[in-house]
Amino acid sequence: MSDPGLDCRIGVYLCHCGSNIAATVDVMALAEYARTLPNVVVAREYKYMCSDPGQELICTDIADKKLNRIVVAACSPMLHEKTFHNVLSRAGLNPFYLQFVNIREHVSWVHQDHKAATAKAMDLVRAATRRVALHKSLEKRRVPINPNVLVVGGGIAGIHAALTMADAGKHVYLVEREPTIGGHMAMFDKTFPTLDCAACILTPKMTSVGSHPNISLWAYSEVTQVEGYVGNYKVTVCRKPRYIIEDLCVGCQECITACIYKEGKTPDAFNQGLSKRKPVYLPFPQAIPQKVLIDPDACIEFKTGKCKKTCVEACAERNAIDFKQQESIEEIDVGAIILATGFRTFDAQRNAYYGYGQYKNVYTSLEIERLINASGPTSGVLQMRDGRQPQSVGIVHCVGSRDQNTNRWCSKVCCMYSLKLAHLIKERTGAEVYNFYIDMRTPGKGYEEFYDRLLDEGVHFVRGRVAEISDWPAHPSEEGKLIIRAEDTLAGFVRRIPVDMVVLSVGLEPKADARDVARLFNMSCASEGWFLERHPKLAPVSTFTDGVFIAGACQGPKDIPETVAQAGAAAAEVMALIDAGEIELDPYTAYVLEEHCSGCKTCIPMCPYGAIAFDSVKSKASVNEILCKGCGTCVSACPSGSINQNFFEDEEVFAETEGVLLHA
């Protein structure tokens, strides 16, 4: 091990973090101990090291005491390592002469025994002083940033983010899996609490996306591969065949009218299966792009090859139909990525005691959204499957939310959308409406006022979780009705309420493939499956993968205002990133000690990025710094120790290990 020698002058800085650290770790004893360690010139403790005066303390010491190595023991390096890198730079010291020690998340917050916690903090600080003595000065790498951006998911989050950036002059690729953008919001008739028409605010934005010169809108497409790193991502997108040539289709829909199917036979997914569509279709009248598509599973030409192809005839010289269309693969280069893939609703069949799928008059909230929508399957008339209008309706809150058996979290929007549906149902049908809730959660601008309004409108509210929905009458008046059994926790007894129709306010869940998508983009999901943000408060739209941001309900349940706010935030983060023009990368790359390398080539297949090449003239391995991402996998494979990794040098890790184990 190389000897750091006498010229190593370490300063140790210990943070109280208010009482976050100091309440458990004896910071005074820690400072006193640090002063006894070899090469330590000064050790100080301070209430908040990250504050201006805290930082100033270090700067001054570096100048006055000629320090050349710094140890800061505080919170997680994820939070503040960068802050102190900057402090060192400001003081004229190479930033990598810093070792950052985590005595908050890893010590004071997880241990209760003060003595043991202090001892552990001592171990960690000792290890850091040993390690830092061996640090070398390193330079960050600078690479240019590609100014193009990819947005994945075209719900309101993706739409808003894409438009914001496109208006600022960035080129945006918007990739949407479904044949149209719009996401869930496109399905609603009205939105709470203002009851403004969803289409009136969404459709203009959708149209702008479709016509914006800076947006390449790729609907019916999916990202299949992502390579590269912040500033320079290479993304592969698979564009599924619509069997319609997008550039030629004018959206006249004459083919739909002409299709030999007079009536649709396929359940319409956009209408939650409440209506049927033809093999050639447009998901809904305002769909963007306004281009039809053909469903090969339903189309006779695909199934038998013997259709009269009346659609082709109708399309005539426009010639937009192409039964031979194949999926195409596009490759794009972007500097940053925003994921806005949204949520799925809870599958109500999982709560069998609510009878969804069993009783035909039990609906999900999303189905009701379609049933009351003027462009929905019934043109906005709230009709049950048997054609009757309901006289009484029960709305059950928290279906699949706040429940140990399904999802523990609050889905946040269900209270409010249940109120919205209660209002709309009452307005349209005059039915008696009963809302069954556990707690009413209306924290938002104008939300509580909306609740008050509903109370005035004569909607009934029953506080208590619904136990069961059945069609077993206990009395002639219950004949032919659905009976909701619930404990009324305000009145203190169990009630039976017979209704014609039940609406299950299903909760929000991560999309079924959220984990796969996270993997594709090299980020993580929280335990429930929502995408994990870098910091819940300070970096809610960033992820741990630089250059990848998240917005909207893919991060957790959110209403539209919050979704839009987050989408704007993500767009701003992306622009701050790409407008800088270049990016600094950590210098944790591998390098070859040529004099030791025997040219055995063990390292070469270890590197997942093909960053190691064999120099056949010298018979040595050589690392391409640009391609190396700094994992260090090659380093631990080299039998002769001839590859090393900056900042994670063997000696440094050995010194740290010995440091935590051996008392000095």
Partner 1 sequence: MPNGQEDATTVFEPRIVAFFCNWCTYLASDLAGSSRMKYPPNSCVIRLMCSGRVDPQFILNAFAHGADGVLIGGCHPGDCHYREGNYKALRRFRLLRRMLVKMGIEEERVRLEWISAAEADRVRDVIREMVGKIRELGPLKLDLVPKAEMTKAEELIHA
Report what 120 binds from partner 1, ligand FAD, ligand SF4, none; CB cut-off 5-8 Å by kind: partner 1
Q: From the list partner 1, ligand SF4, ligand FAD, none, pick the one residue 415 interacts with, judged by a Cβ distance below 5 to 8 Å according to partner type.
A: none
Judged by CB under 8 A, the stretch of 277-285, 404-412, 420-428, 626-634 that binds partner 1 is 626-634
Shortest spacing between CB 498 and ligand SF4, in angstroms: 45
Contact call for residue 632 and ligand SF4 (CB under 6 A)? yes
Per CB under 8 A, 124 contacts partner 1? yes
Residue 260 partner contact from ligand SF4, ligand FAD, partner 1, none using kind-dependent CB cut-offs of 5 to 8 Å: ligand SF4
Residue 295 near which of ligand FAD, partner 1, ligand SF4, none (CB within 5-8 Å, type-dependent) = none
276 closest CA partner among 289, 291, 266: 266
Amino acid at 432: E
With a CB cutoff of 8 Å and minimum separation 6, the contacts of 146 are 231, 232, 233, 333, 334, 335, 578
Supply angle C-alpha 5, 10, 15, rounded to 5: 160
Size of the site for ligand SF4 (CB under 6 A): 29
3-state secondary structure 318-342: HCCECCCCCCEEEEEEECEEEECCC
- Residue 193: asked if its preceding bond is cis (omega within 30°), the reply is yes
Distance CA 497, CA 495 (A): 6
- Spatial separation of the C-alpha atoms in residues 31 and 122, rounded to whole Å: 9
Which of ligand SF4, partner 1, ligand FAD, none lies near 130, with the C-beta cut-off 5 to 8 A by kind? none
Which does residue 36 bind out of partner 1, ligand FAD, ligand SF4, none, counting CB within 5 to 8 angstroms by kind?
A: partner 1
- Distance from C-alpha of 72 to C-alpha of 354, rounded to nearest angstrom: 57
DSSP for residue 437: E
Provide φ and ψ at 359, rounded to 5°. Answer: -100, 130
If one asks whether residue 660 binds partner 1 (CB under 8 A), the answer comes out as yes
Nearer to partner 1, 119 or 258 (CB): 119
| Binding-site partner at residue 240 among ligand FAD, ligand SF4, partner 1, none, CB < 5 to 8 Å by type | none
Q: Determine the size of the site formed for partner 1 (CB under 8 A).
A: 63
Query: If we measure between CA atoms, which residue out of 45, 40, 70 comes closest to residue 132?
Result: 70
Please measure the distance between the N-terminal and C-terminal CA atoms of the chain and give it in whole angstroms: 17
* Alpha-carbon gap, residue 311 to 317, rounded angstroms: 12
> What string marks each residue from 442 to 461 as x (binds partner 1 by CB under 8 A) or -?
--------------------
Binding of residue 304 to partner 1 (CB under 8 A): no
- Give the residue with the Cβ less far from partner 1, 102 or 272: 102
> Which of 240, 453 has the CB closer to ligand SF4?
240
Q: Is 119 in the site for partner 1 (CB under 8 A)?
A: yes
DSSP codes joined into one string, 456-505: HTT-EEEES-EEEEE---SSGGGTTSEEEEEEETTTTEEEEEEESEEEEE
Q: Which stretch binds ligand SF4 (CB under 6 A): 80-88, 184-192, 259-267, 443-451?
A: 259-267
Among 208, 522, 622, 624, binds partner 1 (CB under 8 A): 522
Comparison of 75 and 175: residue with beta carbon closer to partner 1? 75
Binding of ligand SF4 by 299 (CB under 6 A):
yes
- DSSP-derived letter for residue 359 is B
Give the burial string for 139-164 (b: 16+ CB within 10 Å, else e): eebeeebbbbbbbbbbbbbbbbbbbb
**315 CB-contact burial (10 Å; exposed 0-12 / middle 13-18 / buried 19+):** buried
Q: Which partner from the list partner 1, ligand FAD, ligand SF4, none does 171 bind, CB cut-off 5 to 8 Å by kind? A: none
| Sequence-distant contacts of 219-223: CB under 8 A, at least 24 apart | 219/154, 219/176, 219/178, 219/179, 219/180, 219/181, 219/288, 219/289, 220/176, 220/177, 220/178, 220/179, 220/293, 221/175, 221/176, 221/177, 222/175, 222/177, 223/150, 223/152, 223/175, 223/520, 223/521
Per-residue binding letters, 557-596, with ligand SF4 (x by CB under 6 A): --------------------------------xx------
The SS3 assignment for 640 reads coil
Task: Closer to ligand FAD by CB, 202 or 307: give it.
Answer: 202
Distance, CA of 54 to CA of 44 (rounded, Å): 10
588 forms part of the interface with partner 1 (CB under 8 A): yes
**Least spacing, CB of residue 558 vs partner 1, in Å:** 19
Give me the least distance between CB of 74 and partner 1, in Å please: 12
Q: Can residue 508 be called a binding residue for ligand SF4 (CB under 6 A)?
A: no
Q: Return the residue of 43, 68, 98, 118 that touches partner 1, per CB under 8 A.
A: 118
Tell which residue, 187, 181, 212, has the closest CA to residue 199: 187
Q: Which of 143, 525, 565, 569 binds partner 1 (CB under 8 A)?
A: 525
115 binds, among partner 1, ligand FAD, ligand SF4, none (CB under 5 to 8 A by kind): partner 1
At 373, the amino acid letter reads: N
Q: Which of 378, 524, 602, 622 binds partner 1 (CB under 8 A)?
A: 524
Q: Please, which residues bridge with residue 149 across strands?
A: 172, 336
Contact predicate 146/139, CB 8 Å: no
Under rule CB under 8 A, residue 129 binds partner 1: no
Instruction: Give yes or no for residue 237 binding ligand SF4 (CB under 6 A).
Output: no
In angstroms, what is the minimal distance from the CB of 193 to ligand FAD? 8
Binding flag, residue 260, ligand SF4 (CB under 6 A): yes
In the complex with ligand SF4, which residue's Cβ is closer, 220 or 261?
261
Q: Is 248 in the site for partner 1 (CB under 8 A)?
A: no
Which residues are at the interface with ligand FAD (CB under 6 A)?
A: 152-158, 175-178, 183-185, 188, 191-192, 222, 340-343, 345, 365-366, 369, 413, 417, 420, 511, 517, 552-553, 558-561, 563
Angle ∠(18,21,23) on CA atoms, nearest 5: 85
**Rounded Cα–Cα distance for residues 573 and 184 (Å):** 25
Of the candidates 653, 607, 647, the one whose C-alpha atom is nearest the C-alpha of residue 627 is 607
Q: Which of 300, 381, 526, 604 binds ligand SF4 (CB under 6 A)?
A: 300
CB of 641 to partner 1, least distance (A): 8
The Cα 62–Cα 293 span in angstroms is 68
- Give, as one character, the DSSP assignment of residue 394: E
Site for ligand SF4 in 604-623 (CB under 6 A): 606-607, 609, 611-612, 623
Q: What is the 3-state secondary structure (H, E, C) of 574-631?
A: HHHHHHCCEEEECCCCEEECCCCCCCCCCCHHHCCCCCEEEECCCCEEEECCCCCCCC
- Residue selected from 208, 232, 310, 636 as contacting ligand SF4 according to rule CB under 6 A: 310
Over 277-323, what HEC string results? ECCEECCCCCCCCCCCEECCCCCHHHHHCCCCCHHHHHHHHHCCECC
Residues that bind ligand SF4 (CB under 6 A): 259-261, 279-280, 294, 299-301, 307, 309-311, 589-590, 606-607, 609, 611-612, 623, 628-634, 645
Residues that bind partner 1 (CB under 8 A): 26, 29, 32-33, 36, 76-78, 102, 104-107, 109-113, 115-120, 122-124, 126-127, 519, 522, 524-527, 532, 544-545, 588, 606, 608-609, 629-633, 635-637, 645, 648, 650, 653-654, 656-658, 660-664
